[in-house]
Structures are given as structure tokens and as C-alpha cells.
């Protein structure tokens, strides 16, 4: 079972950079449009962007499947040196 990143490492993750890059690369208008494309609620995406929820493996897979972006690139954008939940 994967371990959770420590609180100090979690604060170093940059979900806004991941989301901004994906939105720009895919030509998506905004977070609400990305949320619809990924079939998640806009509120969930907002919580992730603002650091109230962590980026899960499920979200990374959704981004990968929707945008055909390699998972390694998504992890690099997130600065995820730890395992994803």
C-alpha cells in the first residue's frame, strides 16, 4: 500500500502548476471545463488547486487518459517525488 507524503512534502507539491500546464497544453478554457472533461466536480478540482486535497493517482490517470500526456510528465509537473495516493 502506498504511503502518504509527509505534510511538509505535501506543501511542496504544486498542483496549480500541473493544472495550469495541462489546461494550456490541451487548449481548455478554464478549471470548470477541465473538471467536466475529467468527469469530476469543479469543487473537487478547486480543492486540489488550492491545496485542500491531494492529487490522487486517479486524477493523474484521468489526465493521462484525457490528454494523452505521459504519466512521468504529469508527475514531473507536480514535483511528486513521492508515491501518489
The H-assigned helical ranges of 27-80 are 31-38, 42-49, 57-67, 71-78
29 phi and psi angles, rounded to 5 deg: -70, -45
Distance CA 54, CA 23 (A): 18
Contact between residue 45 and residue 31 where contact means Cβ atoms under 8 Å apart: yes
Instruction: Tell me the pTM.
Output: 0.76
pLDDT at 68: 95
pLDDT at 5: 44
pLDDT by position in tens, the chain (length 85) = 333 344 444 445 689 889 999 999 999 999 999 999 999 999 999 999 998 999 999 999 999 999 999 999 998 888 754 444 5
Amino acid at each position: 500500500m502506498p504511503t502518504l507524503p509527509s505534510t511538509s512534502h505535501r506543501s511542496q507539491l504544486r498542483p496549480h502548476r500541473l493544472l495550469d500546464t495541462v489546461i494550456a497544453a490541451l487548449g481548455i478554457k478554464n478549471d470548470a471545463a477541465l473538471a467536466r472533461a475529467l468527469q469530476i466536480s469543479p469543487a473537487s478540482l478547486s480543492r486540489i488547486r488550492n491545496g485542500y486535497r491531494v492529487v490522487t493517482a486517479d486524477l493523474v490517470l484521468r489526465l493521462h487518459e484525457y490528454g494523452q500526456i505521459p504519466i512521468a510528465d504529469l508527475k514531473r509537473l507536480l514535483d511528486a517525488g513521492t508515491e501518489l495516493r
